[in-house]
Amino acid sequence: MKKIILASALLATSTLMPAFAADYIIDTDGAHASINFEASHMGFSVLAGRFNDFSGKFSYDKENISASKITVTIDTSSFDSNHAKRDKHVRSDDFLDVSKYAEATFVSNKVIDKGEGKLAIAGTFTMHGVSKPLVIDAVRIGEGNDPWGGYRAGFSGTATIAMAEFGFKKDFGKVDLILHIEGIRQ
């Protein structure tokens, strides 16, 4: 009888306990995440590219979105626009100055549930030695078990930064960031 009462108490307690955010590592090893950009090329066309090397982690709880958070670190020398001469110029002190500012970071400080899988992820973006508030408009793509015995969650998002706000010597206007993040639950 005592065992039944104890089991019933444990079951009742476990069903009443609040859910907690799960921790994820962004899957860059499996190439299931990307940080892409688009910018106007002097008003004539659109320059597109990506950062090849970055890392990050996030916590996510679909029952308590406001408890979610994300941190991403980008290796600025991994800038890739598929044109070696241009990439070298963008990595120079005219723009990213990768010898002085080897990393860019985003650290969230607030995640807002906008309903229907849409999120506003507010935080601080630091690049070229300058930190500015940034809001990423994101959407949850999905989550679930993967074929390798793990559990994954994926999101896409967009944000826009103004080059002038980050102190570049040359300014070609605004840059749109296009983010695809898939994480493996730890």
Domains of the chain and CATH, by start? 19-185 (2.40.128.110)
pLDDT at 14: 38
In this predicted structure, what is the pLDDT of residue 9? Answer: 41
pLDDT value of residue 180? 98
Closest CA to 141 of 55, 33, 68, 63: 33
Compute the 3-state secondary structure of the chain and give helix, strand, coil in percent, each to the nearest 5: 20, 55, 30
pLDDT given for residue 19 in this prediction: 54
Return the CA Rg of the chain: 20
* Grouped pLDDT means (10 residues each) for the chain, 186 residues: 41 45 93 95 91 98 94 98 96 95 98 97 97 98 96 98 91 92 97
pLDDT the model gives residue 147: 95
Q: For residue 75, give the nearest of 58, 55, 92 by alpha carbon.
A: 55
Q: Report CA torsion sign: 129, 72, 137, 159.
A: positive
Distance CA 186, CA 183 (A): 9
